[in-house]
Amino acid sequence: MADLTELQARWEALQEARASGVLRVVTQTAGVRKEVQFRSDAELASAIAAVEAQMRGARTRVTYIAAQKGF
């Protein structure tokens, strides 16, 4: 699963494409270029919803460190 920053970049690219009426989205993360051609606006909207669902599911990990001084 992609990390949150990668998901946000994908979401922004999809939103920008939909706002401009373009059905082709090109993203580049970690040196990998990905190009996707959607068939319709409904398919693009579905991709946006899928990325939003992944973003809601992405959780950041928090590590708590505890120490005690004792013998």
Does any domain span residue 63? no
Give the residue numbers spanning the domain of 41: 4-57
Secondary structure (DSSP) of 3-34: -HHHHHHHHHHHHHHHHHT--EEEEEETTEEE
pTM attached to this predicted model: 0.73
In a domain, 34, yes or no: yes
pLDDT in tens, 7-61: 898 999 999 999 999 999 998 877 889 999 999 999 999 999 999 998 888 666 6
**pLDDT band, very low/low/confident/very high, at 66 (cuts 50, 70, 90):** confident
Domain count, the chain: 1
Q: Is residue 62 part of a domain?
A: no
Q: Is 38 within the bounds of a domain?
A: yes
10 within domain boundaries: yes
